[in-house]
Amino acid sequence: MTDFADLPDLAAERLGGAVLLANDEFFAPKEGLLKPGAPEWREGEYTERGKWMDGWETRRHSPDHDWCIVRLGTPGIIRGVVVDTSFFRGNYPEHCSIEACAIHGTPSLEHLASAAEWTEIVPKSPLQGDHRNTFPVAHEGLVTHLRLNIHPDGGVARLRVHGEVVPQWTQFVRQGGEVDLAALENGGWVMSCSDMFFGHRQNLILPGRSLFMGDGWETRRRRGPGYDWSIIRLAAPGPIHRVEIDTDHFKGNPPERCWMEGIHRPGATAEELADGAAPWTMLLPESRLQPHARFRFEDLDTIGAVTHVRLNIAPDGGIARLRVFGTLAEAPR
């Protein structure tokens, strides 16, 4: 697996991604491309159109190629794409190519299909069937929409578009209000953690409430001394005014207590920040947690603008969501 796979999926439905248009979806609907989770196989299940397939599948004998247009959930810079053909063994496309564009506002489907200026970011490339086909992307421009082309026809189970979120700060600069500086959709990123045996660290900063226990960050049971932690790079530097920690769905396995530290270290690597010598400053003193509950902390230590925060939990357990509200320390670029 290439390094870009650790970056957020900019096309994820939970961030607002959607498949807007396709020239054909005879066997399986275009919306299947962005479904969360891994593709599945249903032995012996058929629809009135043919075999049930988990993904997007066009009819046979396309005269040229088939295509679909995807709106990213958040604008960003794409670092890599996964074209997953899981379970498409005799009906996958031979090749694919991908184009990108940046269009602000809400363009019409007609404009996207016929008038948008597309730039190729993945040239026509061979695909393997029943395989996660990965393609690194070198395009440095901002992207809001993608066009996936399959040559000549066939089925794709999932499309994942990994990259770096480019936050749209205009409204916050104009209104001067609080913003969740840790949110994934704003450009926050969980750089590293001590452990994520049961739940991925990026779940901490996903939009909305968690959906189930596995939709949070959870560490294994600690059998010795110490505590667990996650380091979050904020979307932009700023002073922190309020923190929310949610243990939703963690009914028998939340941490007993938590505390949070901050640091102003632009450009620091995960290794530098995890080093015991990094000068972290207490932001949220040690506080008790309870199961399946939402906590709001406003009595924070004043430490000025920070670029990163570290959430510490003791001795171990699960946190569903973390919100770190503050204001921008300076007008972003």
Q: Residue 22's pLDDT is what?
A: 97
- pLDDT tier for residue 46 given thresholds of 50, 70 and 90: very high
Q: Are strands 321-326 and 228-246 parallel, antiparallel or unpaired?
A: antiparallel
What does pLDDT average to over the chain? 94
For 81-129, what is each residue's pLDDT tens digit?
A: 999 999 999 999 999 999 999 998 889 999 999 889 999 999 999 999 9
190-221 pLDDT per residue, tens = 999 999 999 999 999 999 999 999 999 999 99
Task: With a cut of 80, say whether residue 172 has pLDDT above it.
Answer: no
CB 286 within 8 A of CB 276: no
CB 322 within 8 A of CB 244: yes
Quick one: fold of 170-326? Jelly Rolls (2.60.120)
Q: How far is CA 36 from CA 55, 147, 299, 322, in A?
A: 11, 19, 37, 21
For the chain, domain boundaries? 3-165, 170-326
pTM: 0.90
**Segment 133-145 mean pLDDT:** 96
Q: What is the reported pLDDT for 173?
A: 60
- Considering the domain delimited by 3-165, tell me its CATH architecture: Sandwich (2.60)
Give the pLDDT score at 175.
56
Identity (one letter) of the amino acid at 20? L
What is the C-alpha separation between 50 and 290, in angstroms, rounded? 50
Q: Residues of the chain with pLDDT > 90: what percent? A: 89
> According to the model, what pLDDT value does residue 1 have?
39
Residue 176 banded pLDDT, cuts 50, 70, 90: low
pLDDT in tens, 150-162: 999 999 999 999 9
For the chain, give me the number of helices (H) and strands (E)?
A: 3, 19
Mean pLDDT lowest for which of 173-177, 312-316, 322-326? 173-177
Residue 277, pLDDT above cutoff 50: yes
Residue 68 has pLDDT above 90, yes or no: yes
Q: What is the DSSP string of 248-308?
A: TT-SS---SEEEEEEE--TT--HHHHHSTTS--EEEEEEEE--TT-EEEE-------EEEE
pLDDT value, residue 331: 63
